[in-house]
Amino acid sequence: MSTSESKLKACETKKHILIIDDNDAVRKAFTLALEETPYEVDGAASGEKGLEMYQEKGYDLIYLDLKMPGLNGTDTLRELRKHSSDVPVYIVTAFHKEFFQELQILEAEGIAFDLLKKPVESDQILMVTQSVFEGPTVQDAGH
Amino acid sequence: MTYQLCLYVTGNTSRSQKAINDLKKLCTEEFQDEYELTVIDVLSQPEAADQANIIATPTVIKSLPRPILRILGDLSDKDKVLFGLNIEPSGSDGFS
């Protein structure tokens, strides 16, 4: 395989990640955590923008905030699943029953998602992302 | 020796079912009847997930035999799961 073919293949197989969160600092934290990885990271400041970007570009993994003005996380995920049933989506939220009520409705509708606990540290973002693309990741006992 | 495993998932969605099925298949193939598998739905039991310091789903914790180890993510690759939990595949000479 020539160098240009190798580059093209690497580009084709590059994983794309979308962070949907209205908080600039959160989007930046995800981007920084993943900047040394081979993955390409984009951010969207609203559910509406995230859906638009997903339809334009397509993504291999989505991190989605739950509480956002406008289209919130659950409604964004409902819309997203109309276009893609298989892209992995992590809803980033605190593990509290009050936040889970809306998520239980989503689950009852058969809408698939996973959870990432808030607040999240950079090494945890990296670990979860790697577990999606590279298989199961060992979690340190300290985390 | 009985293996004790706990799997934390999100509800009863297709992704959760896949994680449960992958782990059950692995347990049956590797441990026959010598295992106890508990499945915890984080949506129904957030306190349990909090106590176990779960940061994401799906997560598997192996509590026996020691040491306690945990892995998270896709469980479909049996060899990677066994390696992550420090369990030698049955019929092998160990990890090389």
- A103 in contact with chain B, both atoms CB, cutoff 8 A: yes
Cβ neighbours for A90, distance < 8 A, ≥ 6 positions apart: A61, A62, A63, A64, A113, A114, A115, A116, A128, B56
pLDDT, chain A, mean: 89
Reported pTM: 0.90
ipTM computed for the complex: 0.89
**Position A6 pLDDT exceeds 90:** no
- Taking residues A2-30, what's their average pLDDT? 78
B chain contacts of residue A81, beta-carbon cutoff 8 Å: none
In what helix (H) or strand (E) does residue A3 lie, and over which residues does it extend?
A: helix A3-13
Q: Which residue of A has its CA nearest to B14?
A: A112
Q: Does A114 sit within 8 Å of B15, measured CB to CB?
A: yes
B chain contacts of residue A135, beta-carbon cutoff 8 Å: 73-74, 77, 80
Which one-letter DSSP state was computed for residue A66? Answer: S
Going residue by residue through chain B, which has 96 residues, state the pLDDT in tens, using 9 for 90 and above: 799 999 999 999 888 999 999 999 999 999 998 999 999 999 999 999 999 999 999 999 999 999 999 999 999 999 999 999 999 888 765 554
Q: Using N-to-C axis directions, what is the helix angle for A47-57 and A73-83, rounded to 10°?
A: 20
Cα separation, A119 vs A21, in Å, equals 13
Q: Does B54 sit within 8 Å of A138, measured CB to CB?
A: no
Q: Does A131 sit within 8 Å of B72, measured CB to CB?
A: yes
pLDDT of residue A10: 47
pLDDT of residue A5: 53
User: b vs e for B62-89, b when ≥16 Cβ sit within 10 Å of the residue's Cβ?
Assistant: bbeeeeebbbbbbbbbeebbbbbbebee
3-state secondary structure (DSSP) of residue A12: helix
